[in-house]
Structure 1
Amino acid sequence: MKITGIIPARYASTRFPGKPLVDIGGKSMVMRVFEQVSKVEKISEVIVATDNEDIYDHVNSNGGKAVMTREDHPSGTDRCYEALTKCTGDFDFAINIQGDEPFLKPEQISSLCDALTPEVEIGSMMKKIKDRKDLFNPNVVKVVVSEPGNALYFSRQTIPYQRNSKEAVWMDNYDYFKHLGIYAYRSDILKKLASLPEGKLEKAESLEQLRWLEKGYSIKMVETDIESIGIDTPEDLEEVKKKLNL
């Protein structure tokens, strides 16, 4: 099984322009992610997929590998597919790793790699919700899975809804899971996903993965206990620096 790790890195983030290049304790965010993913033994090659020459030059001049991709990709999935076509050699799977999680744990990616088989079309990750605030936060995406471990649905709402119980005891009755935005695509499936039009469910919830479910693709979910630390805004960055004394 040959796997590549792809890190989409756009410069023009609405909430945090230039985010991949910000300094975190003497190292850029994008290089922190690159180095963490490079520690995963089952990943043969790691590349940064960017639309910006400064990011491209920065990664390549600091021991990483970057490829230039189009500016007009509507999603990270589309950018991943273009990057995959520029990889050297053939890969069975491509893993899309978010470029704004500089403290990503290699063992988290390893557990996703372990779950990949020729039968898996798409793989992703989930973590048990332990904070009640997350349960009712629409920015925390929830997922319900089948007994074999495939995603049944993703939603910003709290799912499943427990009709005969009060909300205060929902977490006592049922294990709820939040979705972590790491995806592993089988290479032939990624090519198909890149050509799909926006779906009705995706438009309603603003969740790209619903496009794939609506078209009949399966998403294998892998549970993790590791908490991700995402950085979406300059305020997030400052908060993380304070917590980690950086």
Structure 2
Amino acid sequence: MNPIVVIPARLASTRLPDKPLADIAGKPMIVRMLERGREAGIGPVAVACGDPEIAAAVREAGGRAVLTDPALPSGSDRVHAALAELDPDRRHDVVVNLQGDFPTLDPAGLRLVIMPLDDPRVDIGTLVVPIRDEIEATTVSFVKAACSFADGQTIAPALYFSRQAIPWGLGPRWHHVGIYAFRRAALDRYVSLPPSPLEQRENLEQLRALEDGMRIGCARMEHGPFGVDTAEDLERARAILAERGGTRRQ
């Protein structure tokens, strides 16, 4: 595999305006994400920007930025659009869509997300972490993945994703971490599809892929990053990275 990492980012945010430019330990959050991507060491890293202000911050930090149409409906669409400029010759056959709001991410997670693609039947790789308590299991903003890992295995097929606590009954439950590794052809196919019924019902884009028959493989992590969605999340990320000197989780 020859991966490329693309971070989609735009300023519009209902809960935390201008989030990509929020200062975290002396650098904009989008620059912190650029650093996390580089630390993974799996391939070149670029930012698909919905706004020129984000592109300016990325370029000032020595990063590669591509301006995309701010009206694009999703991060995956933004990543796909940026690839036309980043890799017109299609040298990269795997595209990692790295969310722009995980500044405390351990870069090992990016190396892990491509592992499901070792199976040629899998179209998309993603990450899950164990659900620790009932509050997490029943909080609708935490997306759950229905998957089952055989003893000693770290990869399992995703059967469904939901905002509800799934599956029912005793046993492990899994919290989905919204980072994806697409085969290039799978990303082409995904963005060509209209929103699907279950995607619209659950407000979860990954269900579009499942409803179209694509296979998603989940790689398990013991500890996942938290997404910065609120002012409280931002202060938490600032405290963590300030304590660590701006570096990733050790």
Q: Please say whether Structure 1 and Structure 2 have the same fold, judged by a TM-score greater than 0.5.
A: yes
Are 1:224 and 2:230 matched, yes or no? Answer: no
Correspondence for 1:129 among 124, 128, 131: 131
| Residue ranges of structure 1 left out of the alignment (5+ in a row) | 163-172
Partners of 1:67 and 1:11 lie apart in 2 by: 15
Paired residues for 1:37-186 under 5 Å: 37-43=37-43, 45-88=44-87, 89=89, 90-117=91-118, 118-145=120-147, 149-162=156-169, 173-186=170-183
Partners of 2:125 and 2:70 lie apart in 1 by: 26
Corresponding residue for 1:199?
Answer: 196
Corresponding residue for 2:27?
Answer: 27
- Counterpart amino acid of residue 56 in structure 1: A
Q: 4+ residue runs of structure 1 moved beyond 6 angstroms? A: none
Q: Deviations over 1:111-167 (max 9, x none)?
A: 1233323443111111111122101111111111266721111111111123xxxxx
Q: Contact between 2:146 and 2:159, CA under 8 Å: does it hold in 1?
A: yes
Moved more, 204-213 or 115-124: 115-124
Residues 53/245 of structure 1: CA separation in 2 closer, same or farther (3 Å cut)? closer
Report % sequence identity.
40
What TM-score do you get using the length of structure 2 for normalisation?
A: 0.89
Q: Contact between 2:141 and 2:163, CA under 8 Å: does it hold in 1?
A: yes
Partners of 2:240 and 2:103 lie apart in 1 by: 14
Which protein is bigger by CA-based radius of gyration?
1
Q: Deviations over 1:85-130 (max 9, x none)?
A: 2213521110011101111111111112333234431111111111
Instruction: Give how far 1:243 is off.
Output: 5.3
Are 1:2 and 2:2 matched, yes or no? Answer: yes
Equivalent position SS for 2:117: coil
| Residue ranges of structure 2 left out of the alignment (5+ in a row) | 150-154, 244-250
Partners of 1:176 and 1:241 lie apart in 2 by: 30
Q: Deviations over 1:62-103 (max 9, x none)?
A: 111110111111111111111122213521110011101111
Q: Contact between 2:115 and 2:219, CA under 8 Å: does it hold in 1?
A: no
Residues 203/235 of structure 1: CA separation in 2 closer, same or farther (3 Å cut)? same
Instruction: Give how far 1:46 is off.
Output: 0.3
Residues 243/6 of structure 1: CA separation in 2 closer, same or farther (3 Å cut)? closer
Partners of 1:244 and 1:41 lie apart in 2 by: 20
What TM-score do you get using the length of structure 1 for normalisation?
A: 0.90
Residues 239/146 of structure 1: CA separation in 2 closer, same or farther (3 Å cut)? closer
Q: Contact between 2:147 and 2:174, CA under 8 Å: does it hold in 1?
A: no
